[in-house]
Copies of this chain bind each other. A is one copy, B any other.
Amino acid sequence: MNNTKAYAAVSATAPLAAATIARREPTPHDVQIEILFCGVCHSDLHTVRDEWSSVMPTVYPCVPGHEIVGRVTRVGSAVTSHKPGDMVGVGCLVDSDHICPSCQAHDEQFCPEATFAYNSPDKHQTAAVTYGGYSESIVVDERFVLRIPKNLDPAGVAPLLCAGITTYSPIRRWGDISGKKVGVVGLGGLGHMGVKFTKAFGAKVVVFTTSPGKKDDALHLGADEVIISTDARQMKQHAGTFDYILNTVSADHDINAYIQMLGLDGNITLVGIPEKPLPVAAFALLFGRRSLSGSLIGGIRETQEMLDFCGEKNITADVEIIPIQQVNEAYERLLKSDVKYRFSIDMASLKK
């Protein structure tokens, strides 16, 4: 076991603070990674504060972080796909059973035995639960370690491991959006990646936002048009015209207003998780034969495909780099949507 510096919360009400955790010695199939950057995802905050207690109660101490980019420092004797010095990434998934139908279909995120980067039972029993990327280093099974294209900036790559794949996967699965009218609801960490991907795939991209102040930002990110969703006139004008809408909002909102924007056989996919159930009007679904779906990150193969696509198109997240010492303040700013568009923690700060 190796002692490793990290930032941890010891209870739902405690701030994150410096801590020392144990990491396992790499097994023959493991890759040891020095973490360079870790993105700050809203899920980190939900978990640290035990806000998903009914579904996934938090075990403390909790070390969050699942948008991890780093450099390989050691590999186990059987590892063939990575070598020391490689730039690599780790996302939400760090293990699965490899035998269930979901794993066979390369959808490891739905494996009943999936191990997540943090707050997930640790099969190696180094601790009760896994510890995430707010840490100097991590040890991960080679099958869950992603290759990072050399041309991309590591700080901006980190959020691709969650925000990137979360938005890329549903867009790709919907089908060919080239030339289609596609909406992106919300312009935060997920939404700004949604704009970049839908644009890269050739859609006519329309951003829905409640904040008129975000209009220029949306256009700058590549949106063709911006609809202020509180403006009934604008909403009515676009009703029934969208082929597909990616809904990244996790605050409570009127989902029917967006369902009404869809044309015949249109689909709206949720990738955020609002706390309360969304009241869905059946009429809105029946008339237009519309559908409402959910999508959860993506499998490992699809995540690598997304990273390779980003390398090819030179896509990264827009980030504000912070030292780990500012992470509690960053959480408060996250709650006020005061970030463009993702915090990326420079892990060199942890060594200080």
Interface residues, chain A, CB within 8 Å of chain B? 55, 101-102, 105, 107, 110, 255-256, 264, 267, 270-274, 276-296
Contacts and interface: CB of A to CB of B under 8 A. Distances in A.
Contact of A286 (B107, B271, B288): B271
B295 A286 contact: yes
Contact of A273 (B270, B286, B291, B293): B286
Contacts of A264: 101-102, 105, 107, 110
A75 to B, nearest CB: 33
Contacts of A274: 282
A255 B292 CA distance: 13
Given A101-B264, A107-B264, A264-B102, A282 B273 contact: yes
Contacts of A102: 264
17 contacts: A55-B283, A102-B264, A110-B288, A270-B286, A271-B286, A273-B283, A276-B279, A277-B282, A278-B279, A279-B279, A285-B293, A286-B294, A287-B294, A289-B296, A291-B291, A291-B293, A292-B292
A281 B287 CA distance: 22
A280 B282 contact: no
B280 A289 contact: no
A205 to B, nearest CB: 22
Contacts of A285: 270, 292-294
A63 B15 CA distance: 67
Given A270-B285, A278-B279, 16 more contacts: A107-B264, A107-B289, A110-B264, A110-B288, A267-B291, A271-B286, A273-B283, A273-B286, A277-B279, A278-B280, A278-B281, A286-B294, A289-B295, A289-B296, A290-B293, A291-B293
Nearest to A263: B101
Contacts of A286: 270-271, 273, 294-296
Nearest to A247: B282
A277 B255 CA distance: 11
A278 B270 contact: no
9 closest cross-chain pairs (CB), A and B? A285-B294, A277-B279, A286-B294, A291-B293, A286-B296, A273-B282, A277-B281, A292-B292, A280-B280
A291 B289 contact: no
A50 to B, nearest CB: 16
Contacts of A291: 267, 291-294
Contact of A289 (B101, B110, B288, B290): B110
Contacts of A267: 291
Q: Most chain-B Cβ atoms within 10 A of its Cβ — which of A270, A274, A284, A286?
A: A286
A284 B291 CA distance: 15
Nearest to A276: B279
Contacts of A290: 293-294
Contacts of A284: 294
Contacts of A278: 279-282
Contacts of A101: 264
A281 B105 CA distance: 25
Nearest to A271: B286
A334 B303 CA distance: 52
B294 A289 contact: yes
